[in-house]
Chain A
Amino acid sequence: RKEVEQDPGPFNVPEGATVAFNCTYSNSASQSFFWYRQDCRKEPKLLMSVYSSGNEDGRFTAQLNRASQYISLLIRDSKLSDSATYLCVVNDGFQKLVFGTGTRLLVSP
């Protein structure tokens, strides 16, 4: 079983749609969780950290369910500029980050 699993997509949505990505992780000792965004042929950049209480940043909402070892990212009112690959990232319980394969999002006009 992979340490971090994501649906690779692609998710094709129209502008203005709401889209949700899910991610599961296998290491119950993981303590910190993140979503990174990676544009085509660019480096990954931190989108947001994920907390147990859930957190929101504008149109983006991240949720963590420790019991189910499940992380989600919700994007509301999708923009063309949201087209990218979204990487689920989990700390391994020490200092190492483990990246999922990423979920590709394509937002069309």
Chain B
Amino acid sequence: EAGVAQSPRYKIIEKRQSVAFWCNPISGHATLYWYQQILGQGPKLLIQFQNNGVVDDSQLPKDRFSAERLKGVDSTLKIQPAKLEDSAVYLCASSRPRGGQETQYFGPGTRLLVL
């Protein structure tokens, strides 16, 4: 079974530029998550999709971050404009809903450095 795919793996941009990340979840997984992991911290949920609907985006900085999952499969996360503090690893995960007991499978992440 193919895992969660993410691209690009690495990205370096200057502050105030825009950047987009792409994620393709495991086939059949209806739930998709985007996390931000800052160095030395655990992953923090940014947004959760169930199919193409948003379940939770309470921690997404909506003034600069946006995400979509238009066809309920792959997803993009965009930052516009980027700030220095956005430097982090952006992890995508997917799961098959099991009433809270679902295992989340993570992609390899995109490492973003904002200069």
Query: What secondary structure prevails in chain B residues at the interface with A?
Result: loop
Total chain B interface residues with beta-carbon distance under 8 A = 20
Q: How far is the CB of A56 from chain B (nearest CB, A)?
A: 18
What residues on B are CB-neighbors of A96 within 8 Å?
A: 45, 48, 56
**In the complex, chain B residues 86-101 whose Cβ is within 8 Å of any chain A Cβ:** 91, 97, 100-101
Kindly supply a per-residue 1/0 record for chain B positions 77-115, scoring 1 wherever the CB is within 8 Å of any chain A CB and 0 otherwise: 000000000000001000001001101101111000000
> How far apart sit A91 and B97, CA to CA, in the bound complex (Å)?
13
> Once bound together, how far apart are the Cα atoms of A4 and B48, in whole Å?
20
Q: Is the CB of A43 within 8 A of B42?
A: no
Is A65 an interface position by the 8 A CB rule? no
B44 and A99: CB pair below 8 A? yes
- Please pick, from B44, B45, B101, B107, the residue contacting A49 in the complex, using a CB distance under 8 A: B101
Please tell me if the beta carbons of A44 and B106 are within 8 angstroms of each other in the complex: yes
User: Once the chains are docked, how many angstroms separate the CA of A4 from the CA of B45?
Assistant: 14
- Minimal beta-carbon separation of A86 from chain B (angstroms): 11
Q: Does A26 contact B (CB under 8 A)?
A: no
- Report chain B residues within 8 Å CB of A49: 101
Residue interface mask A85-102, B partner, CB < 8 A = 1: 001000100111111111
A28 CB to nearest B CB, Å: 15
Q: A42-B108, A95-B31, A95-B55 are in contact. List 12 more A-B contacts (CB 8 A).
A: A4-B42, A31-B100, A43-B107, A87-B42, A94-B100, A96-B45, A96-B56, A99-B42, A99-B44, A101-B41, A102-B41, A102-B42
- Hey, which bits of chain B sit against chain A, CB under 8 A? 31, 40-45, 48, 55-56, 91, 97, 100-101, 103-104, 106-109
Would you give 14 A-B contacts (Cβ < 8 Å), ordered by A? A31-B100, A32-B100, A32-B101, A43-B109, A44-B91, A45-B106, A87-B43, A91-B100, A94-B100, A95-B31, A95-B97, A99-B42, A100-B42, A101-B41
